[in-house]
Structure 1
Amino acid sequence: MRPLQLVLLTRRYWPQMGGAEMVMARLAAQFEQMGVEVRVLTAQWESHWPTELVHRGARVTRIANPRARGWGTYRYMRGITRWLRAHRDQFDLVYVSMLKHDAYAALGALRGLSKPVVLRAEGAGETGDCAWHLQARFGPRIRQRCQTAHAVVAPSDDIAAELQAADFSPRRIQRIDNGVPISDLDQLPNRAESRRALADGNRDLQVKPNAPVVLYTGRLHEAKGLFDLVRAWPHVLKRWPQARLWMVGEGPAGQALWELAKELHLQGAVFLPGAYDEVVDLLVAADLFVLPSYHEGMSISLLEAMASGTPVVASGISANRKLVEHREHGLLFHPGSVEALAAAIIRQIEHAAQAQDWAVQARRRVETSFSLEHMVREHLSLFEELCPPSTTGAHDRG
């Protein structure tokens, strides 16, 4: 019997790496290591990007994606349809990130064929897929087709509830928590080494040895509460004048965040260095990780911070409360409150020993319940259930 053959479909992929893209990249790499054959299908956002490559051991095929709004999406969807139909004998199942155009194209291309299509819902609240279905031009039509998928993975209880409210069949909704790699802390560089390495690559990240560094990693979007974070920074500077705020990532709010920082005269204290493929050095270099979101599904960034042993402050939304017990794994604050956010940051910096004790407990929580290994096993169990074992060797992975 041959190994299980998967197509992972995601419009954004390396080098465009946000939380959803990182999940797909890590799954692809882990599947390959376990003997599963993986092909990542994604968009070619720049014409000079190669159409075929290998990333972290997984083969990647890029489909033409012209930048023209509307026309570019149509061309991309047509490309997905043609590729899946032409290569239908080379895979057993398609796993799609987000319930959007990719999902619509994949489900249409494989309709009537014995090829399961599994969707992965991303985000909750106003930034989630279910909200997008209500706002996008063809959203209701795309949602209707998405409801025909063999299964829809919900990474959080909030996302599962939104899917049910949007009339997705409960029996097709599969709850699989996000997971992240668990690094061996003894193998990580120390804080001073990480700060030097980062400063060598980007002079904006140079900091004095004892200066507190607070880190955010993720998409730069208004719903992430980042404007509150910038407005909280003058309060932090009153107590810690050398404190630095690093907001790492890309997104539509980037320029507006920088304009607000300048308006508040925070140049030299607030930095937006762009996106990083890996954030381990950033997390080790930081004294504190902050996630002030108004909405989350299940934050990969927060899980990564917890896994690295970095103290955390997070908004008290339901998705974050699932991960962080207040004063056990870190501090939670009322979402949208600049004063409460500033107070939580100052408290964690001032009481570093207590913050580190909570961080140890947070890492243990991730090790126990939110490891990448567990997430991979849950996905493979679902895929094997949907793919007849007589056609694959998935059950013989060992």
Structure 2
Amino acid sequence: MNDAPLIYVARCRLHRNGANLIQALHVAESFARIGVPTRLYLPPAKGVTVAARLRDFGIDEALDLRLDPWLHTRFGLWPFFVRKFGELRRARGIFTHNLMVSRWLAQFGLKHVLEIHDADRDLIQGGWMPYVIGYHRRRIIDWLVPVSRAAARVLIEAGAEPERVLVAPNAVDLKAYAALSKFDPTRLDHPTFVYLGTLAADRGLHIFDTLAQRGIGKAVLIGEVEPGSGFAMPAGVESHPFVPHHEVPGWYGRSDITLLPYPPHLATADSMSPMKLFEALAAGRPIIASDLPVLRELLEHEKTALLVDPEDVEAWIAAVRRLQSDRGLAVRLAQAAAERARGFSWENREEKIARVCGWL
């Protein structure tokens, strides 16, 4: 076995709070935990201490993280690959989720694995599909790792070789949720609903506002308002600024019903694998979610969640009322969610990828 590390090259900025960064950190950490030494390269970060930032995300400070100035957008990427070519060529493997990084790797003839987060917006609308399929068929992109079956179908229909397409949904740090209090159905008389993430007009947050306005429960919105999104904080909800990622499980522990109101027109709705879904499962609360095909890959109506029309506010209210009136159903959904989460640890995910790619 090659003793060199797996090299993961990304362009997420450590001083920002995006989902891609959180995912990249967990992926790199989990590869290392399962016995695949991993070196994660990111662009430089503004005004942050790396160790403190890793603690914010609940990541082991021993992570081999390198902030390389040549990954800054001002340098266009090619100097990074010129400087790191020897290291990349000797690596156990190369992994990325960034299409531009993948393109430069391909141009340098470096075989790699490409994780696909958004097949429709990035590959089809962004015009990247011919490049991805072309290099995949030439085995420069050795494996494609879409995060949903829907994304895999898009890739295969475009010409990807099915035997080198591995579906790997996102995951959750199960240990971070292990100490949460169990679901308490007696709290459903006036439940608390918590949302954590980007606050924008296209995230279905009006559902939380409506539930609060009608006195059905307490709504808590936590996060940063997306600039230019048209979102205004509703008067009837409790709001908090962004919290470090390691505090997220505690907030789920304060919730009684988890709402995932993804609208169908969301840019990523056709192929996403939202980390919020896996966090919701791990929290062990009854889930009400948008009835979207990509969510039905992981949730089953009345078995692991209640699935409702994402655009019908009254359907969301009716689902909450149903849980309030049928406490047995609420308990079963909460238990089923926690059980479903057990199959989605980051370590399990990366072990599956590493074995298929020959890194273990």
Q: TM-score range by the shorter chain?
A: 0.7 to 0.9
In angstroms, what is the RMSD of aligned CA positions? Answer: 3.5
Q: Do the aligned partners of 2:95 and 2:114 also contact (CA within 8 Å) in 1?
A: yes
| 1:287 paired to 2:286 | no
Name the counterpart of 1:41. Answer: 41
Q: Do the aligned partners of 1:80 and 1:106 also contact (CA within 8 Å) in 2?
A: no
| 1:60 paired to 2:35 | no
Q: Structure 2 vs 1, CA of residues 140 and 121 (structure 1 numbering), >3 Å: closer, same or farther?
A: closer
Return the match for 2:314 from 316, 339, 343. Answer: 339
Q: Do the aligned partners of 1:97 and 1:121 also contact (CA within 8 Å) in 2?
A: yes
Q: Structure 2 vs 1, CA of residues 282 and 352 (structure 1 numbering), >3 Å: closer, same or farther?
A: farther
Give 3-state SS (helix, strand or coil) of 2:318's partner: helix
Matches within 5 A, 1:29-178: 29-46=29-46, 48-49=47-48, 56=60, 57-64=62-69, 73=73, 75-88=75-88, 90-98=90-98, 100-109=99-108, 111=109, 115-122=110-117, 128-136=118-126, 139=128, 142-143=131-132, 147=136, 148-178=140-170
- Give the whole-Å Cα distance in 2 for the aligned partners of 1:58 and 1:184: 18
1:11, distance to aligned residue in structure 2 (A):
1.5
Q: Could you report, residue by residue, the CA deviation over 1:297-328 in whole angstroms, capped at 9, with x for unpaired residues?
A: 22221111111212211101112112221122
- Give the whole-Å Cα distance in 1 for the aligned partners of 2:70 and 2:309: 41
| 1:298 paired to 2:273 | yes
Return the match for 1:274 from 228, 239, 242. Answer: 242
TM-score under structure 2 normalisation? 0.80
Q: Structure 2 vs 1, CA of residues 249 and 168 (structure 1 numbering), >3 Å: closer, same or farther?
A: farther
- Give the whole-Å Cα distance in 1 for the aligned partners of 2:91 and 2:151: 28
Name the counterpart of 1:203. Answer: none
Q: Could you report, residue by residue, the CA deviation over 1:111-151 in whole angstroms, capped at 9, with x for unpaired residues?
A: 0xxx53000000xxxxx244223444x64675466544111
Long gaps (5+) in structure 1: 67-71, 123-127, 193-209, 388-393
Opposite residue 379 of structure 1, the aligned amino acid is: I
Give 3-state SS (helix, strand or coil) of 1:174's partner: coil
| 1:182 paired to 2:151 | no
Q: Structure 2 vs 1, CA of residues 234 and 184 (structure 1 numbering), >3 Å: closer, same or farther?
A: closer
- Give the whole-Å Cα distance in 2 for the aligned partners of 1:33 and 1:346: 43
Name the counterpart of 1:216. Answer: 195
Matches within 5 A, 1:350-389: 351=326, 354-367=329-342, 369-384=343-358
- Give the whole-Å Cα distance in 1 for the aligned partners of 2:225 and 2:63: 25
Identity level (%): 19
Matches within 5 A, 1:248-259: 248=223, 251=226, 255-257=229-231, 259=232
| 1:234 paired to 2:210 | yes
- Give the whole-Å Cα distance in 1 for the aligned partners of 2:95 and 2:105: 9
Q: Could you report, residue by residue, the CA deviation over 1:243-271 in whole angstroms, capped at 9, with x for unpaired residues?
A: 12324466456x522x2x4xxxx325152
- Give the whole-Å Cα distance in 1 for the aligned partners of 2:329 and 2:66: 48
Q: Structure 2 vs 1, CA of residues 268 and 320 (structure 1 numbering), >3 Å: closer, same or farther?
A: same
- Give the whole-Å Cα distance in 1 for the aligned partners of 2:131 and 2:19: 23
Give 3-state SS (helix, strand or coil) of 1:39's partner: strand
Q: After the TM superposition, which segments of 4 or more aligned residues of structure 1 sit over 6 Å from their partners?
A: 50-54
- Give the whole-Å Cα distance in 2 for the aligned partners of 1:219 and 1:151: 31
Opposite residue 374 of structure 1, the aligned amino acid is: N
- Give the whole-Å Cα distance in 1 for the aligned partners of 2:328 and 2:176: 21
Further displaced range: 85-94 or 300-309? 85-94
Opposite residue 300 of structure 1, the aligned amino acid is: M
1:51, distance to aligned residue in structure 2 (A):
8.7
Opposite residue 171 of structure 1, the aligned amino acid is: E
Further displaced range: 271-280 or 304-313? 271-280
Q: Do the aligned partners of 1:328 and 1:361 also contact (CA within 8 Å) in 2?
A: yes
- Give the whole-Å Cα distance in 1 for the aligned partners of 2:169 and 2:257: 24
- Give the whole-Å Cα distance in 2 for the aligned partners of 1:76 and 1:108: 14
Give 3-state SS (helix, strand or coil) of 1:324's partner: coil
- Give the whole-Å Cα distance in 2 for the aligned partners of 1:49 and 1:186: 29
- Give the whole-Å Cα distance in 2 for the aligned partners of 1:268 and 1:236: 6
1:345, distance to aligned residue in structure 2 (A):
3.6
Give 3-state SS (helix, strand or coil) of 1:105's partner: helix
Q: Do the aligned partners of 2:113 and 2:145 also contact (CA within 8 Å) in 1?
A: yes
> How many pairs does the alignment contain?
342
Name the counterpart of 2:25. Answer: 25
Q: Do the aligned partners of 2:223 and 2:242 also contact (CA within 8 Å) in 1?
A: yes
Q: Structure 2 vs 1, CA of residues 141 and 327 (structure 1 numbering), >3 Å: closer, same or farther?
A: closer
Opposite residue 250 of structure 2, the aligned amino acid is: D
Q: Structure 2 vs 1, CA of residues 88 and 326 (structure 1 numbering), >3 Å: closer, same or farther?
A: closer
Give 3-state SS (helix, strand or coil) of 1:151's partner: strand
- Give the whole-Å Cα distance in 1 for the aligned partners of 2:230 and 2:327: 32
